[in-house]
Structure 1
Amino acid sequence: MVVSDADEGLLDHIDEAHKDFKDVLRHKFVINHNRPGWINFTEKLENSPAEFVRPKGKEATQNNDISLMYFSSGTTGFPKMVQHDFTYPLAHILTAGYWQNVMDNGLHLTVADSGWAKCAWGKLYGQWICGSAVFAYDYARFDARNMLEKASHYGVTTFCAPPTVYRFLIKEDISQYDFSSLNYCVVAGDPLNPEVYEKFLEYTDLKLMEGFGQTETVVAIATYPWLKPTPGSMGKPSPIYDIQLMRPDGKLADVGEEGEIVIDTSKGRPTDLFAGYRADPEKTEAAWHDGYYHTGDMAWKDEDGYMWFVGRADDIIKSSGYKIGPFEVESALIQHPAVLECAITASPHPVRGQVVKATIVLTKDYEASEQLKKELQDHVKKVTAPYKYPRIVEFVPELPKTISGKIRRVEIRQHNDEKEDN
């Protein structure tokens, strides 16, 4: 089902797409408008009975019926249609009440486009169930100052945004805004660099509580209110999931050893885990087999049980026998005052197999130069293991991102491969 306003261009676009998805899209509603093949939502609503009669028997909705579908963010390839059933919204009580720490009569702001699962995480189910109002903030192009002004003016009490947003916020003079009502801030969507955590804490006296999850899940790993935040760590596994780290050989990883984040489903599917990819049993089977759901994300666990993100399995760089996670190199670069944001990817190399490439957006006080490139390379060598430094550095005005704000490393890799072919 789709509900649209009476924009003729938009309706034409939906009708054209409908030709290829007639088995999926069965009902088309338009607001206060008559159009062939569409149902006038306004007329139907006016003629509807005031009392809702709940269907019974076969017509009744079952908990395991599909209630919604979201596209995955598509950071590593073509987005997948992720299906969730009617039990999914209730699990966001954990997201809102026990991670975002929303409060009764509070005002919560999550920075997320309405077309993505992060919207369900922060603008719909959990917040309302927990008694918090939701502040809807939409924009054509992100403006850090405008967001700071709105959050301050309306008295936002809890805030959730991807690291990209926080990187831009700490470049502004936050001290000129009144955030006396702001009690709690969380971050998810991409790994949080420790430098961003420390700067935000310095400017606001608020600790950023990181979380991890996917379109396929609710919050799966997080720094919950009762945990001490460890900058750079995602936190600890959610109590509703049995989360393990799995090595490539199928054995569980030891403390300090990298592995893929997996969810044990051998005792049954958790009610909040997705119900498969729409019309794609092969991808469903590839992600969900032998009693585990495979997230495709790599991490390691320390002795205290905190989990540390390494990168997507597809993003790990294999150079001269070394395995290099992009997050560590990005965190090293972001500590330099010249770097606003960056993305680390693999670039093909005839001898080493792959080398580390840094695609960098500079802060407004710096200009691209060979001298700055060398300075950044030396900086990484000092902060982390020297072999991890970026042998290739490219300065760009902006990074390619999904609508939900995640960096599209797959697009950067494709650009690298095309340059290699030429």
Structure 2
Amino acid sequence: MACVTSMILSKTSAFRALRTLRLSSSRSFSKWQIALAAQNFSGYESIQAQYKPEVPEYFNFAKDVVDNWAEAEKEGNRPTSPALWWVNDQGDQVKWSFVELSHISKKAARVLSEQCGLQRGDRVIVILPRIPEWWLLNVACMRTGTVLIPGTTQLTAKDILHRVQTSKARCIITDQVLAPAADSIASKCPSLEFKLIVSRSHREGWLNFSDLLKLAPAEHDCAVTKSWDPMAIYFTSGTTGTPKMTEHSHASHGLGLGVNGRYWLDLTPSDIIWNTSDTGWAKSAWSSVFAPWIQGACVFVHSMPRFEPTPVLEALSRFPITTFCSAPTAYRMLIHHSLSSYKFHSLKHCVSAGEPMNPEIIEQWKTKTGLDIYEGYGQTETALVCGTFKGMKIKPGSMGKPSPAYDTQIIDENCNMLPPGKEGDIAIRIKPARPFCLFTRYTVVKAFVVLAPDYVSRDPEALIKELQDHVKKVTAPYKYPRKVEFVLHLPKTISGKIRRNELRKAEWGKA
């Protein structure tokens, strides 16, 4: 594959999609889900041939995946390994089967809906370290139809302020470490009505999640959500500007990450995967929630606050982990340790993403462990775009081949497809059918401006910059409009109020 400089979502009508997705009832998904877990494949061509997704009109991961696997467990149609297996350095362990996860997450959903009064579509910021409650609240948010916004525990008070104000979140859930930071900015966030603390101790002004969970009933009617309804919002890392809100639907992760789970992570219900990603990043959702549980696999979690080689190698030796997922930097740290002192009795598949993998690291890992490292490439907006899938020959320096979920090409600056050997940008075909596993949108500030007569002849680009600079001075800098459009008039009601909804519809129609 040619080298790439960035990812572009192609908007040319000539860039046609490979497949049209079929609609079906949500019940058919459960059949597809279990069938997918049992499929065999032998090479990239068979992956392409087997991948025939169906997107139902209604879908909810908590009900259609977690609860279905719980039923399979009750009927003896799933191995006895946990759904979640959590450990820490003190020797404590938490193991939840799918039956237990289903039960406890219903209690957590009752806390969100009844004690916090959250309703479908409300946004909830969850900033927690690697503790079982993070996984529990992921499922609980889906049950209630609320939109989860995860955040890394490295966030500062300024970062939290930006996320709450931008998302207009009604609730924040965190621990005793970050609660003071949340308190310091709460007065500047009129949308924030509820604060839940996950802690054994209590804090003034906060509801205690643990106390409420114990008292909550275990019966809960899962929210009826359509596949395209918003499910989660991930803030990008902000490397090219202010972090942007990237919205994903119930289908994009709850169904779309089946590709990752089966073909890249190579998971089955008998597998145990350990993904070391921080809970604040989309990669944790990919490989620590959706991809494994779609396959009915067990998610292993170590509570370590930072990546350290010794506890990682000890865990890989001690626990029956079959699949390991981590960043190239982590593999570099591990190979410089004395790997010969450790025996990975169960480990059979290793994957990496986040940055290019140095070929020397792959070679040394293979020499010392006998295992290959399969690379993958994706973004917060896309999940897996390209990967070296199980069964493919590993080519050093290559990130593999396109995911069967996308029609991916290398294009030039004019969106023309390039031949092999030419450098360009990665493009994903979005017309005539937008891939269901792609993010829904960026929720971005745009200004529609009616110019006074004296300004009509002014240079529009200079005017845009002047307007943006003005907004940065009179409000928080991140609130400035990224997009500006000059119009002749604004749609208004009879009473003179601006019809903002019409402006949004016109904008999305253009997109």
Counterpart of 2:366 (choices 201, 219, 226) is: 201
- Residues 45 and 175 (structure 1), Cα distance of their counterparts in 2 relative to 1, 3 Å cut: closer
Structure 1 residue 167, shift from structure 2 partner: 1.1
2:324 alignment counterpart: 159
1:78 equivalent in alignment to 2:245: no
Structure 1 residue 11, shift from structure 2 partner: 2.3
1:214 equivalent in alignment to 2:355: no
- Residues 281 and 227 (structure 1), Cα distance of their counterparts in 2 relative to 1, 3 Å cut: farther
Q: Give the 3-state SS of the residue equivalent to 2:346 in structure 1.
A: coil
> Identity, % of aligned pairs?
37
- Residues 28 and 66 (structure 1), Cα distance of their counterparts in 2 relative to 1, 3 Å cut: farther
Structure (1 or 2) with the greater helix fraction: 2
Counterpart of 1:271 (choices 424, 436, 444) is: 436
Structure 1 residue 229, shift from structure 2 partner: 1.1
Query: Are 2:254 and 2:294, in contact at CA under 8 Å, matched by a contact in 1?
Result: no
Structure 1 residue 12, shift from structure 2 partner: 3.0
2:34 alignment counterpart: none
1:61 alignment counterpart: 225
Rounded Cα–Cα distance in structure 1 between residues aligned with 2:261 and 2:197 = 32
2:196 alignment counterpart: 29
Rounded Cα–Cα distance in structure 1 between residues aligned with 2:390 and 2:175 = 45
1:240 alignment counterpart: 405
1:172 equivalent in alignment to 2:340: no
2:19 alignment counterpart: none
1:109 equivalent in alignment to 2:277: no
1:100 equivalent in alignment to 2:265: yes
Query: Are 2:256 and 2:437, in contact at CA under 8 Å, matched by a contact in 1?
Result: yes
The higher relative CO (CA closer than 8 Å, separation ≥ 6) is in 2
Query: Are 1:113 and 1:138, in contact at CA under 8 Å, matched by a contact in 2?
Result: no
TM-score between both structures, scaled by the size of structure 2? 0.50
Provide the alpha-carbon RMSD of the alignment. Answer: 2.4
Aligned length: 276
Structure 1 residue 175, shift from structure 2 partner: 1.7
Rounded Cα–Cα distance in structure 2 between residues aligned with 1:242 and 1:281 = 30
Rounded Cα–Cα distance in structure 1 between residues aligned with 2:363 and 2:297 = 28
Q: Give the 3-state SS of the residue equivalent to 1:232 in structure 2.
A: coil
- Residues 17 and 272 (structure 1), Cα distance of their counterparts in 2 relative to 1, 3 Å cut: farther
- What 5-or-longer segments of structure 2 have no aligned partner? 1-123, 126-171, 448-511
Alignment deviations for residues 220-279 of structure 1 (CA, whole Å, 9 cap, x no partner): 101111311111101100111111111123322211101111111012321111111233
Structure 1 residue 84, shift from structure 2 partner: 0.8
Structure 1 residue 49, shift from structure 2 partner: 3.9
Rounded Cα–Cα distance in structure 1 between residues aligned with 2:335 and 2:441 = 39
Rounded Cα–Cα distance in structure 2 between residues aligned with 1:96 and 1:54 = 25
1:28 maps to a residue whose letter is K
1:123 alignment counterpart: 288
Structure (1 or 2) with the greater strand fraction: 1
1:66 maps to a residue whose letter is P
- What 5-or-longer segments of structure 1 have no aligned partner? 283-422
Query: Are 1:107 and 1:156, in contact at CA under 8 Å, matched by a contact in 2?
Result: yes
Structure 1 residue 281, shift from structure 2 partner: 5.9
- Residues 281 and 95 (structure 1), Cα distance of their counterparts in 2 relative to 1, 3 Å cut: farther
Query: Are 1:108 and 1:127, in contact at CA under 8 Å, matched by a contact in 2?
Result: yes
Rounded Cα–Cα distance in structure 1 between residues aligned with 2:400 and 2:325 = 16
Query: Are 1:167 and 1:196, in contact at CA under 8 Å, matched by a contact in 2?
Result: yes
TM-score between both structures, scaled by the size of structure 1? 0.60
Rounded Cα–Cα distance in structure 2 between residues aligned with 1:137 and 1:44 = 26
Structure 1 residue 27, shift from structure 2 partner: 3.8
Query: Are 2:322 and 2:347, in contact at CA under 8 Å, matched by a contact in 1?
Result: yes
- Residues 151 and 280 (structure 1), Cα distance of their counterparts in 2 relative to 1, 3 Å cut: farther
Query: Are 2:273 and 2:322, in contact at CA under 8 Å, matched by a contact in 1?
Result: yes
